[in-house]
Each structure stands twice: as structure tokens, then as C-alpha cells.
Amino acid sequence: MNPNQTVEDESHPYITSASRRIQLLSLHLTPLPPSQPSPQVNMLICAKAANKLEVDKVSLSTYMRGKNRDIQEKIIEFFESRPDLQTPVGVSMNEHRELCMRQLVALVREAKIKPFRYIVDDPAKYFAITEAIGSIDVSLGIKLGVQFSLWGGSVLNLGTEKHRDKYFDGIDNLDYPGCFAMTELHHGSNVQGLQTRATFDPVTDEFIIDTPNDGAIKWWIGNAAVHGKFATVFAKLILPTHDSKKVSDMGVHAFIVPIRDLNTLQTLPGIEIHDCGHKVGLNGVDNGALRFRSVRIPRDNLLNRFGDVSRDGKYTSSLPTINKRFAAMLGELVGGRVGLAYASVGFLKISVTIAVRYSLLRQQFGPPEQPEVSILDYQSQQHKLMPMLASSYAFHFATHYLVQKYSEMKKMHDEQLVADVHALSAGLKAYVTSYTAKSLSTCREACGGHGYAAVNRFGSLRNDHDIFQTFEGDNTVLMQQVAADLLKQYKDKFQGGSLSVTWNYLRESMNTYLSQPNPIIARWESADHLRDPKFQLDAFRYRTSRLLQSVAARLQKHSKTLGSFGAWNRCLNHLLLLAEAHTESVILAKFIEAVHNCPDASSRAALKLVCDLYALDHIWNDIGTYRNVDYVAPNKAKAIHKLTEYLCFQVRNIAGELVDGFDLPASVTRAPIAMQSEAYAQYTHHIGF
């Protein structure tokens, strides 16, 4: 569509708005004569495609797919060959739960794919497996994660050799399905506030697990309602003492608690299990509530990597304080956040692929007496979907970097690297899942009424993904952790301390980025300058540094009258903006790096185009911040806006190739509205035509 064309085309002055509208509507009712080209449901070439980049889709998809594509293809092929294991639309909750368990058993025992073996030794392969599994059925992906990453991961990461020897094989082959019982009815994010108690009895050499009140009931526990036989229960470790207090609270620890008989699946004495029932999404996962009434377990069931209790009731730990032990424990459980950030990008790729392909196929309106045009030729549709497509690529590279750092952390056990991965995973999990949740709705809307059909997947994707913003850490809480870490780095910088890898740019930012903006550079508006990665990254980091400096000053001011907690709450929205800005800086840095490292010239040119759109769209969306401090002059702001629109149009020209570059199997993007006319015909047949 010509962006300068108005509703009343100047070349047809005698056609009124009303008659023009009647003409357009009549095209929907009266077929065009055979002598004119009939509007087929196929990919349309944009009017200005002469400037279109040539993209080698094979090279692009090879660069994107990574080294674990083979095992992903094996998983997809296995489930495609088994119609009995495919999840039907409209499946009931109880049927879905049993189907998910059958799917998981088939994956492990028939396809011979053992995810648990990669948890520690090859996390990248484990996350690749979960991505493929999640594309089959998101509930299955979560159930797999509960079994291997949460229940199994807690045994591997918080236990010692005796626990691995006893439980590894049973977890690996699904003889020991289990749960991860951390969240309580009254405590989710505040894990240190958990109330479940594990009191040591030196007479019997056992721990007694108790739920002291209704608020301490373990809630939303995956695998608990139907299939779980064990649970890793997080509880306060209470030791008897001989002083006036009589007991000593050693902080939250993890314990292995059997909850069902291994053979009969009957609930064990002292255990109460309740079903959490139907949820907004993920109904293939059997979430339940657990209550413990004086349940006795052997002392050896304490997962004792960071703290142990001897036969005579003495506590020992290599870490001197409750807070350090707690931080070490949570640091070992960060894999769940890494997995959710990685999986969320998969949701975004699928939804963007469906929406882009539909927008290329779907035709509505057009110039008088001419065929209708693809709706992706409309600027409004481009502005909905092209920045989202760019973000999909940006998040892909950022989360792959996160997985790489997490893998290094598991091998090296470096304290600084652990802290860096903890903050990085918090930021990316929160940012990516929030963005994807909004994008799923936008993609549905971009597909009009057809996007509302269940068979076209947006509803199930949106509902299943929604909880990603809450579990493994509420997004608002996680972003506060990122902000707190940035403030710590800011403080350390002025005290001469070393900065962790992700925050190295702060070393320069306090001196360079916070100085008065250069009035000459602020007015540069050439496309070469605006597309220069240094300008883009400097702008992102400048914003982060300004926010960091200003919020640090505000906190110092308000803490004098409100105290530290009150000051933090007063500045909370400012802190969340800081965390968001920093996370965007990290994402852009990884995207720029990925563009530079791409070996194929055509793929590199396409990625550069997409990266420029990602960067300039973000700068334009926050142009007020840059204008307020004269970092960008008015003429430059206008140039950024124009160039962003141009890049959006250019990305539209290769949108089909870009979604193909994700290399998603056809069964993953199986929405009929995103396929060719034969599949579309099957879709209409499916609903009764």
C-alpha cells in the first residue's frame, strides 16, 4: 500500500468516500472477472520490494538453530509419529493430566531421551530438550521441568553423593516422580518467611515435618495432586538446645519427604494432599496442596550440601550465616529461571511466526479496481509485528548467552559468576516473560477473528504462558533484585571494588555517559550514525546510567526520613525502570555481538537490519528521556523516527525469510491460518463448511 495514499485518491476526484467504500465492499461480494488476476491466498510481494535484501534462509537457520537441533528433531519426529500422544483441542483436565504423564513416560522409556542426565553435565542440551517438548505441549514441558529440573535438580544441587546414589536412577527413569514443595499459601516470593518446620528428634534420629497453620500449607505444588511419590520440602530446620530458648532456628533447608506409597500410590500417614483444580492454563500439570502432620523422615533425608546435622544434633556448615546459606541454596536453583526465559522466547517465536505468516497471506482492501493487498503492507500491522519479530531475535541471542553463562557456572562454581548469573537470569526471565505475555495478545489481535479460534493456538499459548510471569520468582520481585544488584555495583565502583562481567560498562558510565551530552553528536542525524552499534549501545547505557545515578541519590535522600524500607518503596517504580533499562542494554549488547559473529554475509546483513530496528525502536519509544537531557536534539529525534519507520518497512520485506530463520518444525506452527490454502480449507472444513 502506498503510505501517502489517502482514502479519497487525488487521481480520482469524482469518487467520494462513500462510493469508494461501496466499491471496496462489493469486491468481497462479487468475484473479479476471470480476465483480472484473482487474489489468491499466497505470499504477496510488496510494491517496493526492489530494495529487498536477499537472505540465505539455510545459512540463517543454521546460525540460529545451535548445536542441539538433532535431538530436538528427534523429539518432534517421535511425537509426530504417535497420534495417541498428541494433545487434542478441548481436552478435559483429567484426561490432559494422564496424557501428559503418558507423554513423559513415552519420551523417557520409548524414545530413550533422558533429560535428567544433562541437568548438570550439559545444561544447553537440557534446555534444548525442554524447548522442543514445550512446543509439543506446554503442560508437558512444565511437567518435565518439575520432575527433572525442580525435584531432580534439588536432589543433585542441594544434596550430596549419598542422595545422588539413592535417587538418581529412579528420578531418571520416572520410577520416582516427585514435587518441589517450596511455595506456601501465605508465602511465595518471601522464601525466608516460610513457616513449615522440620524439627530434629535426637532420640529417634529423625526430622519431624509439620505444617503449623493453614498459611503454611504447601500450595500450587506441581505433580502433587496425582502422580508425585516424593517431595523436596523446604522448611525451617529447628534444633533442640539446652538454653532458655530450648530450640534454635537454623533457617530454611530442603528435605526429601515421601508422600505416596511407591507401589499402591496411596497417601502416606500424616500427609494430606488436596487438588488445586482447574487453572487458567497448564491443566496437564497436576498442581496440589500438601499438609504435614508430624511426618517423620530419617536424618539422611536432609539435603545437606550447605548444612548438616550430626547424630547428636550438632549443626555444621561451611557457610557462617543463615543468609549466606540461604543465598547459596537459591543460587543452585537458578536453573528454573534460566529455563523459563529460554522457553518464553520459544512462545514468542511461535506466535510471531503464526501472526507474520497470516499477515502475509491475508488480504484486505486495496487501490480502486485492483486486487486486495496483504495486511502486512499496512503500516499499522508492520508496527505491531516487526518490532516484535526483532525482539524475538534479540531475546534468542540474549537467552542463549544466559544458558552459556549458566553452563559455565555449573562447571566452575565461581562465586562471582554465580552472582552474575543470578542477577542476569532474574532480569531476563522477568523482562522476556512480561514482553511475551503482552505480545501473545497483540499477535492474536493482529490475526483478527481467526486468531480467536482455539485451533489457531493463541488462546492456549497465552493461557499456558501467563503463569511464567509469576513462578520461579514474581517478575516485579525479580526486577527489584536486578536493581539492588546494580546499586551494589554502583557502590562498589566508588569503593574501588571489582565489577562483575555484566556490569563492566558501569566503570565508564559514571565518567563518560553521565557527563554533559556532546552538543555536536546530539545533532548528528545521518543513517550511518544512527545505525552505528556504538551510538545505539551508548544511548541504551546512557539511559541506564542516568537512572542509576538519580535513583541512588533519591534513595540516599529518602532513607534519612523514611528508613531503608520506606525509601525503597518510595522509589520502587524508579528502581523497576532502572532494572528494565539495564536488561535492555544487556539484550542489545548480545544482539550486536551475534550480528558481528555471524559468518554468512547475507544473514549478517539481515540480522543487522533487525538489530537496528530493535535498537532504534526502543530509543524512539523513550525519546522523551533523551530529549529531556538534550542527549538527542529535535532534528535527530525526527531522524530516528523516520529511520525506524523505514527499517520497519524493510524488515517487513524479509519477514517471511526471518520467521523461516527460526527453523521451527511445521507441526509447531501448525495453526491453519498461518498455512497455505489447502490447510486453510481444512480449517474451514473443521468448523463445518
Q: What is the pLDDT of residues 78-116, one digit of tens each?
A: 999 999 999 998 899 999 999 999 999 999 999 999 999
Q: Any bridge partners for residue 221, and if so which?
A: 288
Whether the per-residue pLDDT at 674 is higher than 80: the answer is no
Average pLDDT over residues 472-498: 82
Please tell me the least confidently modeled range out of 386-390, 437-441, 508-512. Answer: 508-512
Residues 6+ apart with CB under 8 A from 351: 436, 439, 440, 443, 457, 458, 461
The mean pLDDT of 159-166, rounded to a whole number, is: 96
Per-residue confidence (pLDDT) for residue 245, from 0 to 100: 78
For 292, the grid coordinates are 504435614
Is 183 annotated in a binding site? The answer is: yes
The residues, ordered by sequence, that sit 6+ positions from 656 with a Cβ below 8 Å of its Cβ are 43, 356, 357, 360
Residue-wise pLDDT tens digits, 252-273: 999 999 999 999 999 999 999 9
pLDDT at 493 over 90: no
Mean pLDDT of the region 24-42: 36
Residue 511, pLDDT score: 58
Instruction: Kindly indicate the confidence band of residue 456, based on its pLDDT and cuts at 50, 70 and 90.
Output: confident
Question: How much is the pLDDT for 473?
Answer: 87
Query: What digits encode the pLDDT tens for the residues 118-131?
Result: 998 899 999 999 99
The alpha carbon dihedral of 554, 555, 556, 557 has a sign of: positive
* pLDDT category of residue 35 using cuts at 50, 70 and 90: very low
Please report, for the chain, the start and end positions of each structural domain, with discontinuous segments joined by +. Answer: 64-162, 178-321, 334-674
**What pLDDT shows up at residue 414?**
81
d(CA 440, CA 420): 30
Q: Which amino acid type is present at position 559?
A: S
DSSP one-letter string for 254-276 = EEEEE-B-TTT-PBPTTEEEEE-
State the CB neighbour count (10 A cutoff) for residue 5: 11
Eight-class DSSP state of 87: P
pLDDT single digits (tens) 410-434: 888 787 888 899 999 999 999 999 9
- pLDDT > 70 fraction of the chain, expressed in percent and rounded: 86
Tell me the mean pLDDT in the region 433-450. Answer: 95
In this structure, are residues 274 and 288 in contact, taking their beta carbons and an 8 Å threshold? yes
Q: How far apart are CA 661 and CA 658, in angstroms?
A: 5
pLDDT of residue 684: 45
Grid coordinates representing 365 are 482492501
Task: Write down the pLDDT at residue 412.
Answer: 83
Residue pLDDT, tens place only, 44-77: 344 344 467 889 989 999 999 878 889 999 999 9
494, pLDDT greater than 90: no
Predicted confidence at residue 188, as pLDDT, reads 80
| 8 A C-beta contact, residue 376 and residue 359 | yes
CATH code, 334-674? 1.20.140.10
Show the beta-strand stretches assigned E in 229-382.
230-240, 247-258, 271-275, 288-292, 295-298, 308-309, 315-316
Active-site annotation, residues: 472
3-state secondary structure of 26: helix
Q: Which of 331-335, 502-506, 623-627 has the highest mean pLDDT?
A: 623-627
Cell representation of residue 687: 468448523
Q: Which of 325, 320, 204, 183 is nearest to 253 (CA)?
A: 325
Which cell goes with 633?
A: 536534539
Instruction: Give pLDDT, residue 242.
Output: 78
Query: What is the pLDDT averaged over residues 557-575?
Result: 94
Does residue 221 sit in helix, strand or coil?
strand
- Give the ranges where 66-172 is alpha helix by DSSP (H): 69-80, 93-109, 118-121, 123-136, 138-144, 153-158, 161-172
Helix H or strand E segment including 596: helix 572-597
What sections of 42-89 are H helices per DSSP? 57-65, 69-80
pLDDT digits (tens, 9 = 90+) for 173-216: 999 999 999 999 998 878 889 999 999 999 999 999 999 999 99
Q: Which of 186-190, 241-245, 389-393 has the lowest mean pLDDT?
A: 241-245
- Check: CB of residue 630 under 8 Å from CB of residue 354: no
| Rounded distance between C-alpha atoms, residue 5 and residue 186, angstroms | 59
What is the distance, to the nearest Å, from the Cα of residue 311 to the centroid of all Cα atoms in its chain?
Answer: 44
pTM of the entire predicted model: 0.86
Indicate the fold that domain 178-321 takes in CATH.
Butyryl-CoA Dehydrogenase, subunit A; domain 2 (2.40.110)
- Whether the pLDDT of residue 148 is over 80: the answer is yes
Q: Is 222 annotated as a binding residue?
A: yes
pLDDT at 24 over 50: no
